[in-house]
Amino acid sequence: MPSFDIVSKTELAEVDNAVQNMEREMAQRYDFKGANCTIAHADGVITLHADDDLKLRQMHELLQGHLTRRKLDAGVLDYQTPEQAAGQAVRQTVVVRQGIDKELAKKLTKHLKQSKLKVQAAIQGDEVRVSGKKRDDLQAAITAIKELKQELPLQFINFRD
């Protein structure tokens, strides 16, 4: 029985490369000269330190731009609420999302059932396995999921006949 998996995975090595490129650009940019702005990446968590909210927003734009250059979708970033540090300084953590959470998995399976396609969707941890009798049904399921405009980028892997 043909099947495929719907997953959301991000290569952390590419995220690390994007962070390093961003550090280099921040060191050379005029608007960051003399500013105490830093970025650090460890285990899928990016920590941003900025002098004020304006610099923090500029760092957001830089980070998203560098991720896009590395062919990563900026939708994998989950920005936590910024917290005040000493004086005007701001600290923010950004989590790089891995896997599909339960709510999104339920939404995907519900959408596939409502689409009246002859496929079965099963939640398996942080991925969704879709199986059906025909390859055409699976391809229709992929297009149905792609039409469902998600914030989190999804990949379709392990297509088996």
> Which residues in the chain belong to E strands, given as ranges?
3-7, 38-42, 45-50, 77-79, 83-84, 90-96, 119-124, 127-132, 155-160
Q: Looking at residue 136, what is its pLDDT?
A: 86
Can you give the pTM of this predicted structure?
Answer: 0.80
Q: Which CATH superfamily is domain 12-96 in?
A: YajQ-like, domain 2 (3.30.70.990)
* Spans of all domains in the chain: 3-8+100-160, 12-96
Domains 3-8+100-160 and 12-96 share a fold: yes
CATH class name, domain 3-8+100-160: alpha beta
Residue whose entry in the numeric block shows the structure tokens 């003399």: 34
Average pLDDT by stretches of 10, the chain with 161 residues? 87 92 91 88 91 90 92 89 86 91 88 86 88 87 86 83 76
32 and 26 Cβ atoms separated by less than 8 Å:
yes
Q: Looking at residue 63, what is its pLDDT?
A: 92
Q: If you write DSSP's letter for every residue of 35-67 in order, what string do you get?
A: ---EEEEETTEEEEEESSHHHHHHHHHHHHHHH
Residue 55, CB-side half-sphere exposure with 13 Å CA sphere: 22
Count of residues making up the chain: 161
Q: Looking at residue 90, what is its pLDDT?
A: 92
**Measured between alpha carbons, how far apart are the two ends of the chain, in Å?**
7
* Alpha carbon of residue 108 to chain centroid: 17
Q: Looking at residue 47, what is its pLDDT?
A: 93
Number of neighbouring beta carbons within 10 Å of residue 115: 15
Can you tell me the distance from the alpha carbon of 95 to that of 77, in angstroms, rounded to the nearest whole number?
A: 6
Can you tell me the distance from the alpha carbon of 82 to that of 74, in angstroms, rounded to the nearest whole number?
A: 18
Q: Looking at residue 147, what is its pLDDT?
A: 86
